[in-house]
């Protein structure tokens, strides 16, 4: 899982890298936080403002926030069966009053302010808080519609007719103007080359951002989590503690290989 700060930073780093000519943004996401989606969307706009084309390639799913982040790209390419769109917003606010009663758990809440009970799950929302929450959801949906309309050269009414949570396949999304082409990552790469004025069969290098984590670093992180976070529960605690120093950063000193080979299956 890549959070918005990791993704947005990777996009901005690629945008600043003179060796990178275009950004191919691969997305496989059912969505999530509106704030996180907006952060990634803004990073894409910053990259585009710097003159670098941003081509979105949709994998299995690009729904809700997964579509929000790419709606402002220079072009969007999706597989025929990609779950696309789901332009909509919802919020879950559970009421646990009866459950807490069954468990004989008493809750006493002291509030200050008209809507201080908004996130208190031990009792139902007041009418004024419910109206406030509804308005917040509506404002986020309106922003979503506005972003898609601007990115896809549509009116807000057209986007709304395709939105309200409706999910389309990639083939349907092409007919409705939500994407530009049906195809995989190769088709998206060809789009990027054409956007740069290159031939479709030009030889280019695809550089992943952020760079993949080295295997030794992954094992190091795993050992640190095991020996620090859940050390008392480990049946092989002694072995993990002996291995951890070998994978710790050695500064400028040369690294030595352990006297055995590790086979990972």
State residue 2's pLDDT score. Answer: 62
pLDDT in tens, 3-22: 888 899 999 999 999 999 99
Cβ atoms of residues 197 and 189 within 8 Å: no
For residue 24, pLDDT over 70 is answered with yes
What is the residue-averaged pLDDT of the chain? 86
State residue 114's pLDDT score. Answer: 81
Report pTM.
Answer: 0.76
pLDDT band at residue 147 using 50, 70 and 90 as cut-offs: very high
State residue 122's pLDDT score. Answer: 84
Q: Strand 181-182 relative to strand 54-63: parallel, antiparallel, unpaired? A: unpaired
The predicted model gives 162-171 an average pLDDT of 95
Least trusted range by pLDDT, from 58-72, 121-135, 179-193: 121-135
One of 8, 29, 37, 64 is an active-site residue; which one?
64
Q: What is the DSSP string of the chain?
A: ---HHHHHHHHHHHHH-TT---EEEEEEE----HHHHHHHHHHHHHHHHTT--EEEEEEEEEETHHHHTTTTSSEEEE-TT-EEE-----------HHHHHHTT--------STTTTTT-TTSPPPHHHHHHHHHHHHHHHHHHHHHHHHHHT--HHHHHHH-TT-EE-HHHHHHTTS-SEE--HHHHHHHHHHHTT--TT-------SSPPPPHHHHHHHHHHIIIIISGGG-TTHHHHHHHGGGGS--TTSPP---SS-----
204 exposure class (CB count in 10 Å sphere: 0-12, 13-18, 19+): middle
**Taking Cα atoms as reference points, which of 147, 220, 212 lies closest to residue 6?**
212
The predicted model gives 39-58 an average pLDDT of 95
Cβ atoms of residues 191 and 75 within 8 Å: yes
Cα–chain center distance at 128: 33
pLDDT band at residue 78 using 50, 70 and 90 as cut-offs: very high
Cα–chain center distance at 124: 32
Cβ atoms of residues 227 and 244 within 8 Å: yes
Q: Strand 54-63 relative to strand 23-29: parallel, antiparallel, unpaired? A: parallel
Residue 64 annotated in active site: yes
For residue 65, pLDDT over 60 is answered with yes
Cβ atoms of residues 41 and 147 within 8 Å: yes
Of the two residues 204 and 110, the one the predictor is more confident about is 204
CATH topology of domain 4-86+166-195: 2-enoyl-CoA Hydratase; Chain A, domain 1 (3.90.226)
What is the greatest pairwise CA distance in the chain? Answer: 71
Residues counted in the chain: 265
In the chain, domain spans: 4-86+166-195, 213-265
Distance CA 98, CA 175 (A): 48
Cβ atoms of residues 13 and 207 within 8 Å: no
């Amino acid at each position: 899982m890549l959070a918005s700060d990791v993704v947005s930073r990777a996009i901005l780093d690629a945008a600043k890298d003179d060796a990178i000519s275009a950004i191919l943004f691969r997305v496989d996401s059912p969505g999530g936080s509106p704030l996180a989606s907006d952060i990634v969307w803004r990073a894409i706009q910053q990259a585009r403002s710097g003159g670098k084309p941003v081509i979105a390639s949709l994998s299995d799913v690009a729904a809700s926030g997964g579509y929000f982040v790419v709606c402002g790209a220079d072009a969007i390419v999706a597989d025929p069966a990609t779950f696309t769109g789901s332009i909509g917003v919802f919020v879950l606010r559970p009421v646990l009053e009866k459950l807490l009663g069954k468990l004989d758990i008493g809750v006493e809440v002291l509030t200050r302010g008209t809507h201080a009970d908004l996130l208190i799950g031990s009792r139902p929302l007041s009418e004024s808080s419910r109206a406030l929450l509804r308005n917040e959801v509506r404002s986020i949906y309106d922003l979503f519609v506005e972003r898609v309309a601007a990115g896809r050269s549509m009116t807000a009414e057209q986007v709304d007719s395709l939105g309200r949570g409706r999910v389309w396949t990639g083939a349907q999304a092409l007919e409705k103007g939500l994407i530009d082409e049906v195809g995989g990552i190769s088709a998206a790469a060809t789009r990027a080359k054409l956007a740069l004025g290159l031939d479709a069969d030009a030889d280019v290098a695809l550089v992943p951002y952020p760079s993949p984590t080295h295997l030794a670093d992954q094992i190091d992180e795993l050992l640190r989590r095991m020996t620090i976070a859940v050390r008392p529960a480990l049946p092989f605690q002694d072995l993990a503690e002996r291995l951890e120093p070998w994978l710790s950063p050695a500064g400028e000193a040369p690294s030595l290989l352990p006297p055995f080979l590790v086979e990972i299956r």
